[in-house]
Structure 1
């Protein structure tokens, strides 16, 4: 015999079955999982409604479906330890980090930070926004109030200077990063170029 909750569920939730099916078909690429997603969404909504009935059942239904899809996407990007299995039986060499390698990595990171810190201000900001924050070139240009071409030039300059720092002796590289632009380009000593 149907309960009050069952009647509410049929009246307020199941009436949106077609819309939910269409939503799942647009939002989830794996056709064979649509039915399971719909059933799991219903189960979650029913369990939640058993505790407290939502004020807007349709919105709650679709929000639950979105959260379920988000959970599945997140899980699909994480490799389970169980799925990796026993690495030794696969004859896979696990590269353990030796103290020497760890120290070398720390030194490399320190040199990178030093090179980055020595970049001219605008150049450093462009490199940070493009390479660390991974902002699009257009957004960096808007944020900094410069042209996209300037962003491109500053990024190339920053990468070139950092690479040069790594391929030279530290004192020579440090001096190069701190030197002003060569004379003859119309700039006073210590001024940064417009680009």
Structure 2
């Protein structure tokens, strides 16, 4: 079992517990986003260092993400309305180079999703593009919520690895047998 498979396995094992824990802190609409961000942050941390107690790390990460989310939400509604002027100024400052880079990344992301198995791709896109909940996806695709969660996690892992390779300037190699198995 590879190091990164361990993170995925641990996430699958504790995601229900993470979901319950986060539900006590944030609004229902934000739970799935916090849970998915927990996986991404844990995976990124595991790339940089060896995490000995992955389950504990994920629970602590979820706690911090949920508390930060609540703090940001509170600040968002306590700030003055002047921010809309600042947002307009920032939006105008986007350079042509940034716009081209953004479009290139989006096209690469689209190619990456095409490499996913059909069910993983559909679950991933319904979640990340259309914003459906896992429950809605499960009903729509006639799958269990657990299966949908695993498909989304596989899609996230695949997309994150590919985008990281792309951002590092590395061409995405042909998928290895292990990568193909992980995405199916």
Relative CO higher for 1 or 2, CA cutoff 8 Å, sep ≥ 6?
A: 2
Same fold per superposition (TM over 0.5): no
Structure exhibiting the larger radius of gyration computed from Cα positions? 1
Higher helix fraction: Structure 1 or Structure 2?
A: 2
